[in-house]
């Protein structure tokens, strides 16, 4: 899976190790994706009513694996996506999958959906920090906005590439603030409810970028080597599109 040739490849001098930054939605370090394990077949599961006055898609929480989970935390079918915010294949998945996934499966209480941001490109780091900067219930809306506007966002980022490269030499508390400002990320999130001051405070906390880097290293160590990677109940599905994934959810019991 590959990004356009103009994909950004910045040297950000991260404080924690990142996997190799590539021109595609792939982490090429010689690690093969973990094979599918166990069975993806299950009996039909019953719908579960959400808490009073809410939909299951309103229930969003951070998971121990540092993902963001939407839906019934006790759902019998658990969907996990490892996604890169700069990956066009992930953007296509979001465009085609989110509406039916939420309306037909998450809001039924049968399926929970967890997104784990996998920083396989350098710009994924500030984008992930900013997406997490808002309240948890805003996370998935911000991710959808990032994917819906991805081509324009990358084009705008390229315009600030020289300034962003220069910012890589700044101290950690200033580095990502300057990179985000130069590439237009701060303005993008400001227009979507994350104020400039709020964004700067999140980006100035170097621990946030280090967390994204540690997650990426951990996911790679687990055998995740491309995005999107989709797991159902812990099993690698080999699916990368909604057309491939929906029958798997149904076979697992969401029918």
**d(C-alpha 196, C-alpha 213), whole Å:** 23
pLDDT, position 20: 37
Residue 183 lies in a domain: yes
Residue 48 lies in a domain: no
Residue 52 lies in a domain: no
The CATH number of the domain holding residue 96 is: 3.40.30.10
Residue 163 lies in a domain: yes
This prediction's pTM? 0.87
Residue 35 lies in a domain: no
Residue 195 lies in a domain: yes
Residue 50 lies in a domain: no
| Backbone dihedral angles phi then psi of residue 230, each to the nearest 5 degrees | -120, 125
Residue 69 lies in a domain: yes
How many domains, the chain? 1
C-beta of residue 98 within 8 angstroms of C-beta of residue 144: yes
- For the chain, 255 residues long, give each residue's pLDDT as a single digit of tens: 333 333 333 334 343 333 333 334 765 444 444 444 446 888 999 999 999 999 999 999 999 999 999 999 999 999 999 999 999 999 999 999 999 999 999 999 999 999 999 999 999 999 999 999 999 999 999 999 999 999 999 999 999 999 999 998 899 899 999 999 999 999 999 999 999 999 999 999 999 999 999 999 999 999 999 999 999 999 999 999 999 999 999 999 999
In which domain, by residue range, is 156 found? 59-251
- Order the strands of the 60-62 sheet from edge to edge: 60-62, 68-70, 111-117, 77-83, 229-232, 235-236
Cis check for the bond before 15: say yes or no (omega within 30 of 0).
Answer: no
pLDDT, position 11: 35
SS3 175: helix
């Amino acid at each position: 899976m590959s990004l356009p040739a103009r994909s950004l490849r910045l040297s950000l001098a991260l404080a924690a190790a990142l996997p190799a930054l590539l021109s595609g939605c792939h982490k090429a370090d010689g690690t093969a994706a973990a094979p599918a394990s166990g069975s993806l077949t299950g009996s039909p599961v019953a719908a579960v009513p959400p808490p009073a006055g809410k939909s299951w898609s309103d229930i969003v929480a951070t998971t121990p694996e540092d993902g963001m989970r939407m839906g019934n935390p006790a759902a019998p079918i658990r969907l996990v996506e490892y996604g890169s915010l700069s990956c066009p294949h992930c953007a296509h998945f979001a465009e085609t999958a989110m509406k039916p996934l939420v309306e037909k499966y998450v809001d039924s209480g049968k399926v929970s959906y967890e997104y784990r941001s996998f920083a396989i490109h350098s710009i994924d780091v500030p984008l992930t920090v900013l997406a997490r900067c808002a309240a948890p219930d805003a996370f998935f809306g911000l991710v959808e906005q990032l994917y819906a506007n991805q081509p324009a966002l990358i084009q705008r980022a390229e315009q600030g590439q020289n300034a962003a490269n220069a910012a890589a030499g700044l101290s950690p508390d200033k580095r990502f603030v300057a990179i985000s400002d130069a590439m237009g990320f701060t303005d993008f999130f400001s227009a979507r409810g994350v104020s400039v001051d709020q964004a700067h405070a999140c980006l100035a906390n170097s621990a946030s970028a280090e967390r994204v880097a540690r997650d990426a290293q951990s996911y790679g160590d687990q055998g995740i080597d491309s995005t999107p990677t989709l797991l159902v109940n812990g099993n690698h599905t080999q699916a990368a599109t909604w057309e491939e994934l929906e029958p798997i959810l149904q076979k697992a019991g969401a029918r």
